[in-house]
Chain A
Amino acid sequence: MRIDKKTKDNLITYGIVVATFLIVQALASTGHLTNHIKGLLVPMTYYAIIAVALNLCVGILGELSIGHCGFMCIGAFTSAAFSKITAEKIPSGPRFLIAFVIGIAFAALFGFLIGIPVLRLKGDYLAIVTLAFGEIIKNVINAFYIGVDSKGMHFSMENQMALGLEPDGLMVVNGAMGITGTPHDASFTIGIVMLLVSLVVVLNLINSRDGRAIMAIRDNYIAAEASGINVTRYKMLAFTISAAIAGAAGVLYSHNITTLTASSQYFGYNASIMILVYVVLGGIGNIRGSVVAACILYLLPELLRGLNKYRMLIYSIVLIVMMIVNWSPKVIEWRKKTFANFGIKKKV
């Protein structure tokens, strides 16, 4: 059977993920993993997922977004609210599945709504508006109060008392305190499955007619439009899918911790920028690179914990040096010359 290059490439990507999963499982079952490392596994999968989502937006669609954690935030909060309300009514398996559907649907809905104004803009203006939307989402969620009692759902944007909840009512979203007591449904296996699902979605999209249209818009939107491609439609398509996948990462995130708050550390622009760092270092437009970079760069500061307070300083220096080595035109030229001297032909 002949396999074309793209399919082979995609299979390698899936293979890497599955192999990593098997190796980690083998190490875990033989007791080689400390609890600290085990705790990092689920975050690693959701960061890989959101990196894939962002790469679809930045690398394939070609629009810089620095607010993707906002979509993650929406996915996290909607699904966690659902899981908390139905915690005792639905068994954990189907409940988590429905939570995924809800989180992804809401993130996609917001991706669509936000995409309408955002995608009219260009370049840095677009980037700053995505940042603005990310911050707006985070801020509004911090001012949300939702409770449930026998009369149904109560909603307020003032404070807990304004809900007028019955004494036996359930406080679901408590403003800046967020959601506490979300069932702990996420696991490394589910994370890997979700990563594979998002990879299948994104890689198939890229290699489809729609994906080629999206990339044509990225490369030259005037030429794409002149060739009869509906620019708005394809931009919206890619942006919405990207938001939906970010929402899936949010579902994993919220079901892996007990207290979910819309803090700047996890959902602010800083977090979105951190994901952007994964995407750029993994290679813009290179989906496999995003997965690998997200895993390595997420683990790096954690593994540097022995260096205590110097770890983030070292991380930042590594980041700057890596960017200069990878991207500087002079370094690239020098690298080419050196490789030529050694008689190694390397594709740059």
Chain B
Amino acid sequence: MSFLTYLINGLSLGSIYAIIALGYTMVYGIAKMLNFAHGDFIMVGCYVIFSVIGAMGGNSTTGVIIAVVVSIILCSLLGITTEFIAYRPLRGAASPLAVLITAIGVSYFLENLALIIFGADVKSFSSVITWKGISFANGELKIQGVTIVTIAVSIIILVCLQLFINKTKQGQAMLAVAEDKGAATLMGINVNKTIMLTFAIGSALAAVAGALLCSAYPNLSPYVGAMPGIKAFVAAVLGGIGSIPGAMIGGIVLGIVEILSKTYISSQLSDAIVFGILVIVLIVKPTGILGKVIQEKV
């Protein structure tokens, strides 16, 4: 039974990674850039929820809903602003590294801004999910409310995102821009607007992930998003960067491996094992689990 509990915990952590990885993979697919600041959007989302709940005094249901909605909106705006100020001027720069370094700059900026506003001390985040959860088999198998909500939310997000991309005009525009910017422009697609929308969705997902992450692991600091951000990036690569189902699979594999190796092998080496899995998968399949193999032509 304990194995099952760990498996479900892994699934829950994996779902959080998956939600973050979805944001990563969408932005990468469309803007062809690694948004290193994505992890910090999670942190911003967490602090917004923390502040709004604090300002409303208490953890009431309406308070939580308002806080999460405010956090999603602010994170989307942050994503759009960042893209507009820091990334758009560098589109078409001679080296793709230029925008990568700017993203690192944005990441430093957000972390240090949070450090100045909220201080370096770790704040205790009260879970936005108050439901205690359910237990099976005479209480031997307990599943926490946070775990169930996390898994459910990630499934809902995946389904909605797939529908959005495959069924709506904006979604199709995103696919077109990801495929070929020049051709998309010729077809009358506003590339700038499409990229902006992608950033807004990706950042909104980061806010959702932040709410879930801090509910499961309630320690809030300016660096809370850094490691989950990198792990989610690894998840996105594992699944094949640019692929939405791939990000989901990568995230869940990573979460389960992390929790199981922490439990059964060594808590110190769990990160090494997680990264080791990535190395092995990429050696066997160099473009990730669901990545497209693009043959280079002369």
- Residues of A whose CB lies within 8 Å of any CB of B are 58, 64, 117, 120-122, 124-125, 127-129, 131-133, 135-136, 139-140, 142-143, 157, 176, 222, 269-270, 273, 276-277, 280-281, 284, 309-310, 312-313, 315-317, 319-320, 323-324, 326-331
Contact = CB atoms under 8 A, between A and B. Distances in A.
Chain B contact surface mostly = helix
Interface stretch (B162-170, B195-203, B210-218, B268-276): B268-276
A182 to B, nearest CB: 23
B282 A312 contact: no
Contacts of B95: 280, 284, 327
Chain A contact surface mostly = helix
9 contacts: A117-B282, A125-B282, A136-B275, A280-B100, A316-B105, A316-B112, A319-B101, A320-B106, A330-B89
A23 to B, nearest CB: 30
B237 interface: yes
A329 B92 contact: yes
Given A125-B288, A312-B112, A140 B93 contact: no
Contacts of A269: 230
Given A125-B282, A313-B116, A135 B94 contact: no
User: Size class of B's contact patch?
Assistant: 35 or more
B286 interface: yes
Nearest to A320: B105
Contact of B268 (A125, A127, A142, A326): A142
Contacts of A317: 105, 109
Contact of A277 (B104, B286, B288, B298): B104
Q: Lowest 8 CB-CB distances: which A-B pairs, in order?
A: A316-B108, A132-B275, A327-B98, A139-B272, A319-B105, A316-B109, A320-B105, A328-B89
A64 B97 contact: yes
A331 B95 CA distance: 15
Given A222-B296, A313-B109, A328 B90 contact: yes
Contact of A331 (B28, B89, B272, B288): B89
Given A125-B288, A136-B275, A139-B272, A131 B230 contact: yes
Given A133-B275, A317-B105, 17 more contacts: A117-B282, A125-B288, A127-B34, A129-B278, A132-B276, A157-B266, A222-B298, A276-B97, A276-B104, A280-B97, A280-B101, A316-B105, A319-B101, A320-B105, A327-B95, A327-B98, A331-B89
Nearest to B238: A128
A139 B268 contact: yes
A219 to B, nearest CB: 14
A143 B266 contact: yes
A128 B108 contact: no
Contacts of A58: 97
Contacts of B100: 276, 280
